[in-house]
Amino acid sequence: MFLLGHFIKTGIRLGATRPEPRRSPVTQQKKTLIRLLTEAGNTAFGRQYNFSRILTHPDPVRAFQAAVPIHDYDKMYDAWWSRSRNDEPDVCWPGQVPWFALSSGTSNAASKYIPVTPDIIRSMKKVSRRLFCDMAHFDLPADLFTKQMLMVGSCTNLTPELGHWVGDMSGIIGLNRPFWLKKYYRPGREITAIPEWSDRIEQIAASAPLWDIGFIVGNVAWVQMIFERIIEKHRLNHIHEIWPNFSLLVHGGIFFEPYRQTFEQLLGKPVQYVDSYMASEGFFAYQPGPESRLLRLITDAGIFYEFVPFNEQHFDENGNLYPDARAVAFAEVEPDQAYALVLSSDAGAWRYVLGDTVEFSDVKKGAFKITGRIKHFLSVVGEHLSVDNMNTAIRQTDLCLNAGVKEFAVTAVKNGSHWAHQWYVSADNPNLNTTAFAAALDAALMEINDDYRVERQYALRDIRVELLPHEIFYRWLEEHGKMNGQAKVPRVMKGAVQQNWETFLQRVAKASKS
């Protein structure tokens, strides 16, 4: 994450906070696509799909969609990005790719290698500058930007591979932060370079009394872990005893609401929350003001977006895109319709299926929410449960029972000739009753989702809840090399991930008995 500003005597001064002229997102997107096609015209990908011809077409958006197929990760990597990873230049974007971001996502265990170019870094900085300028819309202390910023991310000690470097995206961003931010940035390279996440937390906790943190950027689950360790180590009642000026959390990566109750127990006073939407493939959106939790899509920062309606016409029951699926450009997006996000970027992604699903509330303003993942939904009998449904139901249940939920995941299991949903939940309340939790969760889901309510009468015969300690989820992540500032527990477990999780739980149960 980056700030717009420069040094003055008292701290970082934001640039002009008046809103930039709002041009039509459709116009911005067309301009972005033309720039991408022009710059990549002489790459291997650009020659393969004749970008120069697309640019002469009266409607380059339509011509681009007709000429270039939609790619999932495997297609993109096998045919193109693997060549870049072998240091071949000018494959999908001009030049040699200097970094690859490791991203396992949450749908399978295999590591993905996402190309990161200097151009995508510049585009991400552009979005970040706007985010921090828009902070003028929030109710923040006047001297906030004289304080320090804690960035909760992954290790900046990247791994060399041939002529490039490999690591988590937040580590790559940490290495590319502006030089003038060094004075304000915490924890600093001496800590971020520590490979083990648990060791980094210990060093952050040890250094916490030396810092005056005003705002924090990071995944709320991992920020919460840091707060808990600091409070425990220094015997505090809450985090504001050591960081009294902490006023703002810029978070992303996971849905915040399930964490709100337990997170706010660690605070001494209210803070402002700003939601953001960033992945290894780019920085896409953020929450521009406090009046709504909706995100605003940034349509003029190096990424051209397309949207595939997320329905049975375009996706199979496992979330796989049908070969004849059709994506629409921004001009054709309709409100209150779930779409799978497809992007082309200045990192050399072309019509690439990101894996997230979104739903727009106000298309003209680009206002939307993330509703889940294309492979993270449950519909074994037609219940069509999205991650958005699950997050809302967990939140309602959590508030109803004062459960203190931190993590959860759900799988589908056979129940005789029918099916059941098996939920795994970690919660702070030691007196929580699993039967009561299951009943409240079931009622919330039936209220939220009509298809679920119908199927609960027929093929979906049971909903089961198993309460687990928080550390079980984190141990599972650690065992699979995902214990870092970007990792997150998959909300829906299917296939190999589900089998791996169940085997892990059996092993833990066996070890606890011996």
Region 5-25: mean pLDDT is: 51
The helix (run of H) or strand (run of E) holding residue 100 is strand 99-103
Predicted local confidence at residue 110, as pLDDT: 55
Indicate the range of 221-230, 296-305, 374-383, 490-499 predicted with least confidence: 374-383
Predicted local confidence at residue 5, as pLDDT: 41
Q: Is pLDDT larger for residue 13 or for residue 218?
A: 218
Region 381-409: mean pLDDT is: 89
The helix (run of H) or strand (run of E) holding residue 128 is helix 118-134
On the question of pLDDT at 272 being above 90, the answer is: yes
CA 388 to chain centroid: 14
Indicate the range of 22-26, 79-83, 133-137 predicted with least confidence: 22-26
Predicted local confidence at residue 6, as pLDDT: 39
- Mean pLDDT of the residues in the chain: 89
What is the percent of the chain where pLDDT is above 70? 92
On the question of pLDDT at 14 being above 60, the answer is: no
- The tokens describing 240, both together, are 């504001």
Integer Cα distance of 169 and 116 in angstroms: 8
Region 319-338: mean pLDDT is: 93
Region 288-311: mean pLDDT is: 95
The model scores a pTM over 0.85: no
On the question of pLDDT at 10 being above 70, the answer is: no
Confidence of residue 486 (pLDDT cuts 50, 70, 90): low
Predicted local confidence at residue 17, as pLDDT: 42
Predicted local confidence at residue 459, as pLDDT: 83
Q: Is pLDDT larger for residue 142 or for residue 272?
A: 272
Predicted local confidence at residue 7, as pLDDT: 35
On the question of pLDDT at 90 being above 60, the answer is: yes
Predicted local confidence at residue 345, as pLDDT: 98
On the question of pLDDT at 323 being above 80, the answer is: yes
Predicted local confidence at residue 483, as pLDDT: 58
Predicted local confidence at residue 73, as pLDDT: 94
Predicted local confidence at residue 12, as pLDDT: 52
Confidence of residue 428 (pLDDT cuts 50, 70, 90): confident
Predicted local confidence at residue 144, as pLDDT: 86
Predicted local confidence at residue 275, as pLDDT: 94
For residue 113, how many other CB atoms are within 10 A of its CB? 20
